[in-house]
Structure 1
Amino acid sequence: MRRTRITCSMLFVWLGWLALLLSTVPAWAAPAPVVVVPLQGAIGPATSAYVLRGLEQARERGAQLVVLQLDTPGGLDLAMRDIIRAILDSPFPVAGYVAPGGARAASAGTYILYACHIAAMAPGTNLGAATPISLMGQDGESTAATRKSINDASAYIRGLAELRGRNVQWAERAVREAVSLPATEALQEHVIDQIATDVPDLLTRLDGLSVSIHGEQRVLHPLGAELITITPTWHERLLALITNPSVALILLMLGFYGLVFELLMPGIGVPGIMGSICLLVALYALHLLPLNYAGAALLLLGLGLMVAEAMVPSFGILGLGGLIAFASGAFMLIDTEAPGFGISLWLIASLALLSALFLAVIVGMALQARRQKVVTGDEKLTGTLAQVIQLQDNDVYRGMAIVRGEQWQIRSTAPLHPGQTVQIQARHGLVLDVAIVNEPHPGES
């Protein structure tokens, strides 16, 4: 009987251990998810906000790996450094993957790829050309500034290469000589770690790989993991649109001319409201971009001169100066030549042409107005006929007359009488000087 009790107790213990093991099977069978963040196009404020949100969502979902899929010509330095800081601070591995075939990770994209814990490329892709672009000239001062910028960028990418154990020499050449590499050569030169045809192939190659995260080794098991793709929100898409310098310039023009139109034709309301909205959105976008203040000042000066031409026509002098200042300012407005952040010369020329047409219409209307006959004011009264209706205090040289349905005081050098037709010669305040029209006096034949 006692042996039976012992056997039952052992059975219950084994059953408990078995239940505990079975409860952990789902955890073994379902690895932590893998988050994919596709980064396409020029890297700017909207891109950095999108990538940072993707990394934050990956942390909230307990992801074991983030795949940052790159296809970029480069972008702004500040936005690139924001992304790199987030990658370096990430509590989980980040794999930079240049894909699909035909994609590139040029300029800022090369720095980001070097910062990732794992660097991979798809066949038919390339990376490199990481030299900072300078807008300066060729004099001694600008050459020294350019050299300083290149040295800073070179040290930055060397630090990333040393951190990830990748080819330091080629990284420096990518900055100083703007060299590029296709995927196969990048793997041979130990610039990247893997070549994979697509994301599933990349995850297969990474299965079992050990990655150091802040001094701690993590073993990846991405096979069978849930793939979660983070896409840009409408806010990020809108931000990417308005931070395009060309779009920002167009919004600035629409806003400015909307307000001018409202001032010229008050009471409508719609141009003023829409102009204010466009102007505020444009200013917000320019605030996020590397603005050249000299270019902004020239742009505002040009717009001001063109408005002055519209308000006080100078027959083209102010307008021509405004067009020159506007074109110069628009060309200098964004203080970078990063891919995707330049303003097209065709756009500048088109906006200048539209402004010139606007000014031509204004000047033409002014010239036409000068040639037209005066229809208001003292000039219009001169020569107008009036009819005497009464004398003033029996003064035959002063009286009241009807002029276009209005009563006016009149005075004459010749005697007046009611019913007489006179012609206005001049105006002195509220009194009109008149001359008698040659007509027979009542009672004369």
Structure 2
Amino acid sequence: MYVRNLKVSNNPLLRCAVLMLMVIVMLPWLLVTSASAAAADEQTKPVSAAGGAVYIVEAKKTVEAGLESFLKRAYKEAVEANAERVVLVLNTFGGRVDSAEGIGELIRTSKVPTTVFVEGKAVSAGTYIALNAEHIVMQPGSTIGAAAVVDGSGELIDNPKTISFWTGEMMEAARLHGRNPDYAAAMTDVNASIELKEIGRNKASGDILTLTATEAEKAGYADHVADSVQDTIQWLGLEGRTQIPIEPSWAENVASWLTSPVIVTLLLILGIAGIAIEMLMPGFGVPGIIGIASFILFFFGHYVAGFAGQESVLLFVLGLVLLVSELFIPSFGILGTLGAISLVSGVVTASHDAVTALYALLIAFVAATIIVYVMAKKFSHRGIWNKFILRDKLSTEQGYVSNPSRDTLVGRTGITLSPLRPAGAVDLDGERLDVVTDGRFIGAGISVVIVTVEGARIVVKETNPSHNE
């Protein structure tokens, strides 16, 4: 890359500045591009000038934040076009309760009435969505129900408060258009025993009710059974109206995938780990690119889904700048703390659910810490910390010798030039040496032998103790 030619990799401050510049430039550019694409997409859609159109909106996916965002756009268009009816084509195994509640409120409060066409299945959260519509039309062989609350692994939640709350929500949605709320309770409360006369069978404790199209029609949970959307429109008496299909754009489809909890957590892990590794280890390369790309995708998905605004991006970029500044400006942790708060705030405010975002951040931080630790151990010789450690050595290989080696002196004899009390001087074949004894006194002119050499310390003893004075 050209960055290497500029020798940015040799300067941690410049390398971090390049990272920040890329984030600051790329994020707004990508967000503006996606907004422009969405605007262009809006201009190409047919609009009924006289009003009275039927908007056909497909919801054939998991109930989650991305679907909620798409349906908000679709209903907004329908209202602005004075549409006569929204036919919501529903085919889902369910999903998030909070998203289902948001979609249910959207359907209830819309000025344009909704007819749900169940194409296959509308179970769990999908049932709640359908119950908020004015009409429910089901395809032969389709099902509705099984709306008990489950956790992320699909296991039933047996918390009485949670069951009571969700059962109440389902029953109230059923009452909106005169449907028997007992069936909604039977679809939700696993512990209830409910008599269901219309379909000729009862719901026992431990079971969850699911209705076929035929049973739903008998119970009043389906107003009609039709083979297709066109048959549904004909049953509504709207076959002569302009039909405007609304489908998710490519950006909304991508955003729906990017805002799923698993992908969000993965992007945060890669983003945190990638940028941390790039800042701690010299050489702008793959980790930095992956980190920047991960955060760009995170904010792109949440921006297109309608959750993130420019303030979220600014908070995040400010957080990164403050964290990097902490590496070079002594602030006793103030800049680092403010940076961490700003970064977390940017991610949380960009998310559909603050609690889920905090959990994702916690998991991502722990995982990223492990990744960075492993990489730092493996490439410790390349870390930024080496900039602050003096590693130059004056080695023998480079021609430096601190003290000459005197191990060869052991066993040689000499004559004391001065009394050793216990230190003194010895003549060794014409060379004067400073020596010590083991603590004994040795007079001058006495023959001694070198017994130990420890660096510059030379230890001697008398060769003939009888001469000791």
**When the two structures are superposed, what TM-score results if normalisation uses the length of structure 2?**
0.53
CA distance in 1: counterparts of 2:112 and 2:368, whole angstroms = 51
Residue in structure 2 matched with residue 263 of structure 1 by the alignment: 279
Aligned partner of residue 254 in structure 1, secondary structure = helix
Instruction: Indicate the SS of the match to 1:164.
Output: coil
Code of the aligned partner of 1:275 = G
d(CA) in 2 for partners of 1:171, 1:226: 35
Residue 77 of structure 1, CA deviation: 1.8
Is 1:160 paired with 2:176?
A: no
Q: Tell me which residue corresponds to 1:173.
A: 186
2:132 aligned with 1:119: no
The one-letter code matched in structure 1 to 2:259 is T
C-alpha contact (below 8 Å) 1:38/1:231 kept by paired residues:
yes
- Would you say 1:378 and 2:393 are equivalent positions? yes
Q: Displacement of 1:200 after TM fit?
A: 1.3
SS in 2 for 1:50: helix
Deviation at 1:235, TM superposition (A): 3.1
For residues 375 and 285 of structure 2, the distance between their equivalents in structure 1, rounded to whole angstroms, comes to: 20
User: Which of 237, 245, 259 is equivalent to 1:243?
Assistant: 259
The aligned residue for residue 106 of structure 2 is 86
SS state at 2:59 partner = strand
- The residue aligned with 2:22 is none
Determine if the alignment matches structure 1 residue 224 to structure 2 residue 240: yes
Cα distance in 1 for partners of 2:223, 2:276 equals 58
Question: Are the counterparts in 2 of residues 166 and 192 from structure 1 also a CA contact under 8 Å?
Answer: no
Instruction: Report matched runs for 1:31-430 at 5 Å.
Output: 32-99=52-119, 103-134=120-151, 146-177=159-190, 178-207=208-237, 222-268=238-284, 271-279=287-295, 281-282=297-298, 287-289=351-353, 291=356, 293=358, 296-311=361-376, 313=377, 362=378, 377-378=392-393, 381-385=395-399
Q: CA deviation at 1:264?
A: 4.8
| CA drift at 1:148 | 0.8
CA distance in structure 1 between the partners assigned to 2:400 and 2:171 by the alignment: 94
* Cα deviations by residue, 1:63-94 (Å, 9 ceiling, x for unpaired): 11110000111121222112111211122320
In the TM superposition, residue 270 of structure 1 has moved relative to its aligned partner by: 5.8
Decide whether aligned partners of structure 1 residues 56 and 261 sit closer, same or farther in structure 2, where only a CA change above 3 A counts: same
- CA drift at 1:261: 3.8
Give 1:386 deviation, angstroms.
7.4
Counterpart of 1:378, as a letter, is K
Q: Which residue of 2 aligns with 1:18?
A: none
AA paired with 1:240? Answer: S
Shift, 1:267, TM fit: 3.9
| Counterpart-to-counterpart distance in 1, 2:71 and 2:280 | 46
Q: Which amino acid is 1:133 matched to?
A: V
Counterpart residue type for residue 154 of structure 1:
T
Contact (CA 8 Å) 2:265, 2:364: kept in 1 or not? Answer: no
Residues 186-218 of structure 1 show CA distances to partners (whole Å, capped at 9, x for unaligned) of 1112111110000111122222xxxxxxxxxxx
SS at match of 1:67: strand
Deviation at 1:277, TM superposition (A): 3.6
Give CA deviations for 1:102-128 in whole Å, capped at 9, x if unaligned: x21111110111110001110111111
Aligned-pair CA distance for 1:257: 3.4
Distance 1:155 1:263 in 2: 52
SS at the partner of 1:291? helix
* CA distance 1:172–1:305, change in 2 (3 Å): same
Matches of 1:274 and 1:292, distance apart in 2: 21
Q: What SS does the corresponding residue of 1:69 show, helix, strand or coil?
A: strand
- Conserved in 2, the CA contact under 8 Å of 1:72 and 1:109? yes
What is the alpha-carbon distance in structure 2 between the residues aligned to residue 262 and residue 62 of structure 1?
A: 53
Distance 1:31 1:377, change over 3 A: closer
Query: Match of 2:64, as an amino acid?
Result: G
3-state SS of 1:288 partner: coil
Measured after TM superposition, the shift of residue 256 of structure 1 is 2.9
1:280 CA drift (Å): 5.3
Distance in structure 2 (CA, Å) of the matches to 1:276 and 1:63 = 43
CA distance in 2, matches of 1:135, 1:148: 18
Contact 2:269–2:365 (Cα < 8 Å) also in 1: no
Q: In structure 2, the residue corresponding to 1:378 is in which secondary structure?
A: coil
Q: Give the 3-state SS of the residue equivalent to 2:56 in structure 1.
A: strand
Uncovered stretches (5+) of structure 2, i.e. residues with no partner: 1-49, 191-207, 303-346, 382-390, 402-430, 433-455, 457-469
The one-character-per-residue Cα deviations of 1:210-266 (angstroms, maximum 9, x if unpaired) are xxxxxxxxxxxx021111101112332222011122322332232233224423543
Sequence identity of aligned pairs in percent? 27
CA RMSD across the alignment: 3.1
Q: Give me the whole-angstrom Cα distance separating, in 2, the residues matched to 1:244 and 1:294.
A: 13
Q: Distance in 2 between matches of 1:46 and 1:258?
A: 26
In structure 2, the residue matched to 1:358 is none
Partner Cα separation in structure 1 for residue 152 and residue 397 of structure 2: 67
Task: Determine helix, strand or coil for the equivalent of 2:86.
Answer: strand
Distance across 2 between alignment mates of 1:377 and 1:115:
75
Aligned partner of residue 122 in structure 2, secondary structure: strand
Unaligned 5+ segments in structure 1 are 1-29, 208-221, 314-361, 367-375, 388-413, 416-432, 434-445
* TM-aligned CA distance change 1:162 to 1:294, over 3 Å: closer
The alpha-carbon deviation at position 383 of structure 1 amounts to: 4.7
Deviation at 1:302, TM superposition (A): 3.7
Greater displacement, 176-185 / 247-256: 247-256
Q: Check conservation: 2:268, 2:364, Cα contact below 8 A.
A: no
